[in-house]
Structure 1
């Protein structure tokens, strides 16, 4: 006997939301998609998505609601007129632990259930279903949506209570920001002194200092071409700022320098890939 899959409302069809919703459609889930820019949601109609006129329209008749939006304000705005009583909300946007707890309070007061589930990975991993998914919240809610999360990443993990998964996500994104600036500084120094970059990379790859992200961003940095971003600079700036605001007992002086460099890069490159910070480090912008 066939099992009917739960109906899904998907709010946010941007760079990450589009391929993620597409994965669920490919697995046979009925999905109603809303996006502020309707054309982005309509791009999923060929895969079987129903395009909704509003968040409330998307949520009507759904069992599970997913959000993949730019920040906490966008999530709160999208949910403002949505009836969530009896529904499970899976909040996948990268927002702060405190913001998740505040939104959870609102959803719980409305009679819904809230689970945070931020992801690590970018567009290629979203398309291939290989995202790293970290969840925080009730075990029962995680068990309910785990089959859907498994479509997006092979091993979704319940980290702990609400706020802990988003804290872990921000900790990882802080590493993205720090490692990229550190690599940019070393690469710039090597080039400034006429050292062969291939030799530098060969030695780096053999050492304990190596991180795969260095090779992923090397070509963009050498070509100074940061178009078609997997992760726009403005989003990483938002995450660094979130980390700084949420880290109460740490010395975050280093983050001030990171924010200065990434903001300078953004001023020169707009919504391009965050690896454009290389141009800020090397004085090109």
Structure 2
């Protein structure tokens, strides 16, 4: 019975708390620790350290924003690995560098803990509805153990390959997502500067097939001036930075993505906690000021 199984969450922000809600609906219990000391929904017990969470659970889900937060919550006397036992399962849903994923795998192996890098594709609406796409890297047996968890939080699990593959696939996907948004923002800015009616322009873009459903959602929000964070600009810019570093390590030329990273740095500077689609608003403001 899943009602007897406790899932431990390290990090309990906008994505993780929604994952936990879906797991609790399926009969799991949840406990959590957040490095920031913030978060919580009133129904999930918070514990004083990542190690304490790991001691209460046989499956730990990590959802933190970056490499630094991952290291702080995983290692040391109060880190999650200190509380994990041989045979436990560690699911790292964080978007981090390939190097951070490799380090966590090695540390887990030293303790006999199975580690899966499994970042997710989707924003808060998909997390809430249990329609995330899980991008899993790891051995087949470990992913089979994790599949019931994945099925509760997502609609599809992609076994991307051996450990580290999920992390690398997430960078690919977010690079495409960021580049698409930057192109949309620049093209909208041209349309507005050239005299197109604002409502006509935004409504037309919602109809055409060349724009993805994800980016259409961002365009609708930008039309309304609603940049409430589904995916904050600080996290998108961080992922683009990780992708640029990873591409450079492989000697892959990525001039388009480099330019996009600069655009998203602009968005982060303008409003780091707003949704990354705030870039559309930034570009609109630039051309409005020129009018």
Q: Same fold (TM over 0.5)?
A: yes
Return the offset for 1:274: 0.5
Matched position secondary structure for 1:172: helix
Q: What is the CA–CA distance in structure 2 between the aligned matches of 1:195 and 1:88, rounded to whole Å?
A: 54
Q: What is the CA–CA distance in structure 1 between the aligned matches of 2:242 and 2:51, rounded to whole Å?
A: 28
Note the 1:114-263 alignment, pairs <5 A: 114-197=115-198, 199-200=200-201, 204=205, 207-226=208-227, 228-247=228-247, 248-263=250-265
Return the offset for 1:197: 4.7
- The size of the alignment, in residue pairs, is 279
Return the offset for 1:280: 3.7
TM-score computed with the length of structure 1 as normaliser: 0.90
* Map of 1:10 onto structure 2: 9
Residue 58, structure 1, aligned to residue 50, structure 2:
no
Q: Deviations over 1:251-285 (max 9, x none)?
A: 12223322222222222223111011124434539
Matched position secondary structure for 1:156: strand
- Say whether the 8 Å CA contact 1:97–1:162 is kept in structure 2: no
Residue 268 and residue 112 in structure 1: after superposition, are their counterparts in 2 closer, same or farther (change >3 A)?
A: same
Q: What is the CA–CA distance in structure 1 between the aligned matches of 2:118 and 2:63, rounded to whole Å?
A: 10
Matched position secondary structure for 1:133: strand
Q: What is the CA–CA distance in structure 2 between the aligned matches of 1:203 and 1:111, rounded to whole Å?
A: 55
* Map of 2:34 onto structure 1: 35
Q: What is the CA–CA distance in structure 1 between the aligned matches of 2:225 and 2:262, rounded to whole Å?
A: 19
Matched position secondary structure for 1:65: strand
* Map of 2:65 onto structure 1: 70
Residue 94 and residue 280 in structure 1: after superposition, are their counterparts in 2 closer, same or farther (change >3 A)?
A: same
Residue 140 and residue 218 in structure 1: after superposition, are their counterparts in 2 closer, same or farther (change >3 A)?
A: same
Matched position secondary structure for 2:160: strand
Q: What are the ranges of 5 or more consecutive residues in structure 2 without an aligned counterpart?
A: none
Return the offset for 1:231: 0.5
Q: Deviations over 1:31-76 (max 9, x none)?
A: 11111244413x2x42xx2221111111113111110001122112
Q: What are the ranges of 5 or more consecutive residues in structure 1 without an aligned counterpart?
A: none
* Map of 2:278 onto structure 1: 276
Q: What is the CA–CA distance in structure 2 between the aligned matches of 1:154 and 1:274, rounded to whole Å?
A: 24
Q: What is the CA–CA distance in structure 1 between the aligned matches of 2:123 and 2:234, rounded to whole Å?
A: 15
Matched position secondary structure for 1:89: strand
